[in-house]
Structure 1
Amino acid sequence: MTNAIAFMLPPLLPDMQEQYHLSVASGAWVFTAMTLASGAGFVLIPRLSDLRGDRTTALASGVVMTVGALVAAVGHAYPALVAGAALMGLGSGSMLLPLVFLRRLLPGSAIGVAVRVSIIASGIGVVLGLTGGGVLVKYFSVDTFFYAMAAVLALTTVALVAVLPAERATSRGRMGVLGTAWMIGWLGLVLLALSQGTVWTGSLPYILLAAGVVAGVVWAVAERRSSTSVFDVGLLKKPYVSASCLSVGLFGATDGALLLLVTYYTQTPAAAGYGLGYDALKSSLLMLPFALSMFASGAAAEKFVAKGRPGVVLVFGGLVSAAGFLWLAVAHGQPWHYLVGSAIIGLGSRAGYSGGFAVPQYAVPEDKAGMASGMGGTAMAIGFAFGSAVISAVLGSGTDAATGLPKESLYTTGYVAAVGMSLVVLLATGVSRLRHPRGIEMRPAAA
Structure 2
Amino acid sequence: MSISKNFMYFKNSALVFTFINRVIGLGSAFISMLMVTTYFSIDLQGYYYIFNNLLLLNFLLDIGFGVVLVQFISHEWAHLYFKESNTIHGDKIAMARLAGLIRISLKWYIGVALFFLLFVGIGGYFFMGLSNKPFHLYDLPWILLTISVSFSIILSPFKSLLEGTNQIAKNQLISLFATIFGAICMWAGIYFGMGLYSLSANVFGASIVTFYLMRKHAMMFLKFRQIKGIDDKYLWRNEFWGQQWKIGLSWLLGYFMMQSFVPLSFKLLSTQEAGKIGATMQLFNVVNMVGFVWISSTAPKFGILGAKQKFLQIKKMVNFTIVKSLLFSSLVFVFFIILIYIGKTMHVKQFNRFTEMPVIILILLTGVFMQFSNVFTSAVRFQKKEPFLIPTFVCTVLEITLIICTVKWLGVYAFGIVFFVVVSLILVPWTYFIYRNEFRLSNKIA
When the two structures are superposed, what TM-score results if normalisation uses the length of structure 1? Answer: 0.48
When the two structures are superposed, what TM-score results if normalisation uses the length of structure 2? Answer: 0.48
